[in-house]
Chains A and B, each alone.
Chain A
Amino acid sequence: MEKHYGKGSGRLRALDGVTLSVAEGEFFGLLGPNGAGKTTLINVIAGLARADAGTASVLGADVTREYRRARQLLGVVPQELVFDPFFTVRETLRLQSGYFGIARNDAWIDEVMHHLDLTARADSNMRALSGGMKRRVLVAQALVHKPPVIVLDEPTAGVDVELRQGLWQFVKRLNRDGHTIVLTTHYLEEAESHCRRIAMLKAGRIVALETTASLLQRFPGADLEEVFLRLTGKAS
């Protein structure tokens, strides 16, 4: 897959020949320094950006030709802490369900809110929530339509320890229940403990794509952070 931004000499190759496939049910990590192309790759898969060359599909559904099916199969937790200030938590989740064609979804919405510890704030306006709470609503929004594939773009950025652990428990449970998880994060210990397989991106190219275990074996004695720095740092 290729994706460029801008034209002429200022042209940026955000994705430069990335080929990648994630197996069903996998817990997959997408790592790389800022600007490596992680979010661009996610945006192409989610239909928020269009690839200049190549294709992307979700469980066999092409993200442009069969966008309805592809989007129905995919839940994305965006990196930016975005929210609609006009609505409460429950309204936000009901609207998101409706966008995905589900008219009555309260039972599942209640369950998701319960697992994300949002029940007490269900009728609070989004504006009134803390950053961590807003992040959890974003996770809930990605799950309203029970997508088999879940993409989490830096879900724990700016989230406190307790919340982070609660979030991981929930995500791990979703993975055990058969959901495919794709995760980007800058906390490498999170990737090391949760992801079975990892892709490392650097300047729009894949510099490593293997299981976490074999990646660690390549550099005896190193933890994932050292491996990451060796593979994606300026020296490499």
Chain B
Amino acid sequence: MTGFRTLLAKEVLRFWKVSVQTVAAPVLTALLYLVVFAQALEGRMQVYEGVQYTSFLVPGLVMMSVLQNAFANSSSSLTQSKITGNIVFVLLAPISYREFFAAYVLASMVRGLAVGVATLLFAVWFVELRLAHPLWVLAFGLLASALAGALGVVAGVVSEKIDQLAAFQNFVIMPLTFLSGVFYSLHSLPAFWRGLSHANPFFYMVDGFRYGFFGASDFAPTASLAVVAASFFVISFASLWLLRSGYRLRH
């Protein structure tokens, strides 16, 4: 257990030592989105009864930050360690592939949730926000950050260069988060795009997370949670399978 705990602590320390870049910067980005979109769209759009657009936006932005940062943590740490070669220190140690996976995913969750909580704390300063079902918020927050962390492990193991990782980030993570209903309700979309959004697991995370705040959502929260949990298991399974095979780690 000490090996696992040390790897987890090291992964948390790694981002904490550069927290201006890994925590403060994404919080600022999320708040900028909030300010700009609120200015542009407040009063022109109402998604749920009695919920202002700015309030509607906050949970989605928080979830987007959680996802992007949890993903960034495991994926960039792994890819960087592989490129610089210092991954060898972990590979030489008596740490199992399951412990390896758990340490990277948990550290990703810590970073994703740290950014999410900080964004939320800043946002409630100037945006009115309800918290109808805190347990749903917690469940979706935890599960979504774990899923993004596990996906980051896959991307980190597969990527051999920074530009490969950037491609993963720009062509997979960004579109999936932007098109997950962060900025709008799926009901406002044409049927085709609505159908397509239902195939995006990130949509269920945003929608379920939002339910925790407003008690209203596009999709039933239990069904969303089931989709997110199933996605998490599939990605974790793929990630564990990769790690067990030693793919691009133990040649």
Interface positions of A (Cβ within 8 A of B): 5, 43, 46-50, 67-69, 71-72, 74, 76, 78, 80, 82-87, 95-103, 141
Contacts and interface: CB of A to CB of B under 8 A. Distances in A.
Contacts of A96: 89, 93
Given A46-B92, A67-B94, A83 B86 contact: yes
Interface residues of B, number: 27
Nearest to A141: B89
Interface in B213-251: 246, 250-251
A181 to B, nearest CB: 17
Interface in B1-21: 2-3, 5-7, 9-10, 13-14, 17-18
Contact of A86 (B7, B17, B85): B17
B89 A84 contact: yes
The 4 lowest CB-CB distance pairs between A and B, nearest first, are A98-B6, A99-B93, A82-B85, A68-B94
B6 A95 contact: yes
A129 to B, nearest CB: 14
A47 B89 CA distance: 12
17 contacts: A48-B91, A50-B250, A50-B251, A69-B94, A74-B92, A78-B88, A80-B85, A82-B85, A83-B86, A86-B13, A86-B14, A95-B9, A96-B93, A98-B3, A98-B6, A101-B2, A101-B94
| Interface residue SS majority, chain B | helix
Given A47-B250, A50-B246, A82-B85, A103 B94 contact: no
Interface string B69-96: 0000000000001001110111111111
A85 B86 CA distance: 9
B3 A82 contact: no
A100 B89 contact: no
Contacts of B86: 82-84
A35 to B, nearest CB: 15
B3 A99 contact: yes
Contacts of B88: 48, 78, 80, 82
Nearest to B245: A50
Contact of A48 (B3, B9, B92, B96): B92
Interface of B: 2-3, 5-7, 9-10, 13-14, 17-18, 81, 84-86, 88-96, 246, 250-251
Given A50-B250, A86-B13, A101 B3 contact: yes
B2 A102 contact: yes
Nearest to B10: A95
Given A86-B13, A99-B7, A47 B92 contact: yes
A61 to B, nearest CB: 10
A46 B13 CA distance: 27
A35 B90 CA distance: 25
A71 B10 contact: no
Nearest to B91: A48
B17 A98 contact: no
B50 to A, nearest CB: 47
A82 B80 CA distance: 12
Given A68-B94, A99-B95, 16 more contacts: A47-B91, A47-B92, A69-B94, A71-B93, A74-B92, A80-B85, A82-B86, A84-B84, A85-B84, A98-B9, A98-B10, A99-B3, A99-B6, A100-B94, A101-B2, A101-B3
A5 B251 CA distance: 9
B92 A71 contact: yes
A101 B10 CA distance: 14
A68 B99 CA distance: 12
A102 B91 CA distance: 16
Question: Which of B14, B89, B246: most chain A CB closer than 10 A?
Answer: B89
Contacts of B13: 86-87
A156 B120 CA distance: 53
Contacts of B89: 82, 84, 95-96, 99, 141
A87 B13 CA distance: 9
Given A80-B85, A86-B14, A86-B17, A99 B90 contact: yes
Nearest to A81: B85
Nearest to A83: B86
Contacts of B84: 82-85
B98 to A, nearest CB: 12
A11 to B, nearest CB: 14
